[in-house]
Amino acid sequence: MSAKTDLDLSRSIKTKGEALGFDLIGICPAEYSPESHERLLQWLRRGFHADLAYLERNPRMRSDARLFFPGAKSVISVAKSYYIESNYDPAKPYISIYARCRPYQDIIKAKLGALLEYIKSLAPETRGKIAVDTSPTFDRYWANRAGLGWPGKNTMLINKRFGSFLFLGELFVDIDIEPDKPEIDRCGDCSRCIEACPSGALVEPRVLDASKCISYLTTATDIDSERASRIGGNILGCEICQLVCPYNQNAEPSDSRGEMFTDIDFNNLALKDYIDLTESRFDDTFKGTIIAQKGFYKFRHNTLVAQYNTSAFRGLS
């Protein structure tokens, strides 16, 4: 393709991506990043991945687009905001915004599938492969290279307009498309996320020790009493390092609530409501959410831990 055709194709893809409901879309070359590969190896050597053994498999593939999809020439990176106003109160049990969502991987995959079909209508010989956060790829690396945002000190991708409450995905294709410029680091001297992390999981800027992360602990299969005490009032997930970020203070809320969320009103649910749930009522209440995917028994366990850890609710025990 000529440079002009590459640019026209880029514009057409972005227009279609926006029409499909993506809040951000950018493009970068499909490449290998020795730097991100080495950072992953160092992180694994330090044991910061806890028992997430799958991260040890195919470490180079995560930073080499051509291993993930042989023949790849371009990476189309997309983001969908899921930010809504948080009702977080450290004195009360909390379910993260992320956990309240519908299974977002299915939503992102469907939109990327439609985008690939559109590209094929413009360039019929195009082949592509879809990736979401369960794929062996560095979604935040590709998003940064495509200009969607920069890696924050809390390890999350941050965008000036939408903050860091973003679901990411990629479409790897075997055609050349005009790339965008990578986003620069805008964190500056700010370290609010590191200072706010209650469990010390952010051991240094952009380095997370998963074994200390509350979000990990609330989804781990087995945790001992010492680690359970770190959960505090968090039932599923933790967003403290995001909520304190200045870029999330004025982030644009998601305009796709019906698509990303069910109609559950979490502001009117108290700890006692969660404790009183039977398994069948749990299934009915949280059907279609990530909470349901985690299962009743994990939810029940975390609720009881949150009850014990949150002094304001100990009278309910």
Is it the case that residue 4 has pLDDT exceeding 90? Answer: no
For 222-238, what is the mean pLDDT?
85
What percentage of the chain reaches a pLDDT higher than 70?
Answer: 96
Is it the case that residue 100 has pLDDT exceeding 70? Answer: yes
Is it the case that residue 117 has pLDDT exceeding 70? Answer: yes
For 103-113, what is the mean pLDDT?
97
Alpha-helical regions (H) of the chain: 3-19, 34-45, 65-68, 97-100, 104-122, 139-145, 192-196, 214-217, 225-228, 240-243, 246-249, 257-260, 271-275, 279-286, 290-294, 296-309
Least confident range of 2-11, 53-62, 115-124, 284-293:
2-11
Q: How is 185-241 classified by DSSP, letter by letter? A: P--TT--HHHHH-TT--EEETTEE-GGG-HHHHTT-S---HHHHGGGTTEEE---HH
Of residues 222 and 100, the one with the higher pLDDT is: 100
For 112-127, what is the mean pLDDT?
97
What percentage of the chain reaches a pLDDT higher than 90?
Answer: 80
Residue 316: its pLDDT value, please? 46
Residue 7: its pLDDT value, please? 80
**Is residue 132 within 8 Å of residue 53, measured between CB atoms?**
no
Q: How far apart are CA 12 and CA 267, in angstroms?
A: 41
Q: pLDDT tens digits, residue range 144-190? A: 999 999 999 999 999 999 999 999 999 999 999 999 999 999 999 99
Average pLDDT, the chain: 92
Q: pLDDT tens digits, residue range 73-90? A: 999 999 999 999 888 887
Q: pLDDT tens digits, residue range 204-215? A: 999 999 999 999
**Is residue 291 within 8 Å of residue 283, measured between CB atoms?**
no
Residue 311: its pLDDT value, please? 62
Could you say which DSSP state residue 76 is in? E
pTM to 2 decimals? Answer: 0.93
Is it the case that residue 315 has pLDDT exceeding 70? Answer: no
Q: How far apart are CA 228 and CA 216, in angstroms?
A: 11
Least Cα distance to 213 among 120, 96, 56 occurs for 96
For 233-243, what is the mean pLDDT?
94
Positions annotated as catalytic residues are 133
Of residues 2 and 269, the one with the higher pLDDT is: 269
Least Cα distance to 144 among 189, 101, 187, 208 occurs for 187
Which residue is listed with tokens 């026209």?
8
For 211-238, what is the mean pLDDT?
86
In this prediction, residue 312 has a pLDDT band, given cuts at 50, 70 and 90, of: very low
**Is residue 241 within 8 Å of residue 308, measured between CB atoms?**
no
Residue 3: its pLDDT value, please? 47
